[in-house]
Amino acid sequence: MSILSKELVFSQVKASTSDEVIHYLAEQLHQDGKVKDTFEQAVKDREKVYPTGLPTGKIAVAIPHTNVEYVNEAAIAFATLAEPVKFHNMAVTDQTVDAQVVVMLAMKNPHSQVSMLQKLMALFQDQALLAQLQQITDNEQLFKIVSEHI
């Protein structure tokens, strides 16, 4: 079963900081019962120490996540942003990337989700596809296209 669900795909999310994006997506995951109520804070704390911005090109992405103990059931929350939001660069933490796609990963056992992770990474490496996703304004349409790729 795919861990991507229609209820957890969001187009054109409005946020001005990475904390706001994290709050929004963590809340959605929590409401859906996928994560514990401590998940959001754990993701925020971890983001400060080990940021998750990926400099994938003109359209950068971020993959906020935390340890498996905060997760009830494997899921991802997928969002495109109305305006780019700064996330710190995973490998060079004093730099930032302008994230336009944010995928919050709630993993229970990543090794059983390897193929999904690989497809997700392939999607991040496809700037044309990211640009296409960025244009979509309808959650259902975004879900449809994303689910064709992961």
Partner 1 sequence: MKKILVACGAGVVTSTAAMNKLQEELEKRGISTDEYKLGQASVAEVQSLASQYDMAITTTQYDNDAIKIPVINGLPLLTNIGVDTVIDKVVKELGL
Cβ proximity to partner 1: between 69 and 140 the closer is 69
Strand positions, DSSP E, the chain: 9-13, 53-54, 60-62, 75-88, 96-106
Kindly state the smallest distance separating residue 7's Cβ from partner 1, in Å. Answer: 22
Could you tell me the CA-to-CA distances from 17 to 69, 81, 147 in Å, in that order?
26, 11, 27
Decide: helix, strand or coil at residue 96: strand
Cβ proximity to partner 1: between 2 and 115 the closer is 115
CA dist., res. 115 & res. 103, Å (int): 16
The stretch among 8-16, 44-52, 79-87, 135-143 that binds partner 1 (CB under 8 A) is 44-52
**Site residues for partner 1 per CB under 8 A:** 46, 49-50, 52, 54-57, 63, 65-68, 90-93, 105, 107, 110-111, 113-114, 117-118, 120-121, 124-125
